[in-house]
Amino acid sequence: MFFFFVGGVSPRLVVTRAHLPQPCAACGREALREERVDHVLSLFFLDIFTLSRGTPYLRCGACDWASTEPPQLWGQAPPPQLPRASAPTACCPVCARALQPGFAFCPFCGTSLGG
Ligand SMILES: [Zn+2]
Ligand SMILES: [Zn+2]
């Protein structure tokens, strides 16, 4: 038997912080915002209640770069007693923070890292 239920669980994009002070690690522009995707039970396009709250992540409004890690982790140096990771980590030439590989811009001071 079928019945038609005009509603269901749908994702909702929630912007939790519209502007973050850090520049984007991919394009260097200050367009980062914090978002999360909630799952909302809706009926006739009205939200009834939030079923689950998504994990916040950061997304750049300018280049669509996204990171699930908080900015504090972007430049965190590994503890000195641990062996170095095999992947090389870049250091910002200006503020000297250790950065994750693949960053084109320092997310702390906005310096271009791409040569
Ligand atoms: Zn960007
Ligand atoms: Zn820097």
Q: How far apart are CA 56 and CA 87, in angstroms?
A: 26
Task: Report angle CA 67, 64, 31 to the nearest 5 degrees.
Answer: 85
The sign of the CA dihedral 6, 8, 10, 15 is positive
Confidence at residue 63, expressed as pLDDT on a 0 to 100 scale: 96
- In the reported structure, the alpha carbon of residue 57 is separated from the centroid of ligand 1 by a whole-number distance in angstroms of 14
How far does the centroid of ligand 2 lie from the alpha carbon of residue 99, in Å?
9
Rounded to 5 degrees, what are φ and ψ at 64? 75, 10
The per-residue pLDDT for 33 is 94
Q: Residue 63 carries which side chain, given as an amino acid letter?
A: C
> How far is ligand 1, taken at its centre, from the CA of residue 52, in Å?
28
* Complete DSSP assignment for 40-84: EEEETTEEEEEEEPPPPEEEETTT--EESS-HHHHTPPPPTTSPP
- Residue where the block lists tokens 């950061």: 58
Percent helix, strand, coil in the chain, to 5, is 5, 35, 60
Band (pLDDT 50/70/90 cuts) for residue 113 is: confident
pTM greater than the 0.85 cutoff:
no
- pLDDT per position as a tens digit, 3-29: 556 778 989 999 999 999 889 999 999
Which amino acid makes up residue 67? Answer: S
pLDDT tens digits along 35-90 = 999 999 988 878 889 999 999 999 999 999 999 887 777 765 555 555 555 455 67
Q: pLDDT at position 24, please? A: 93
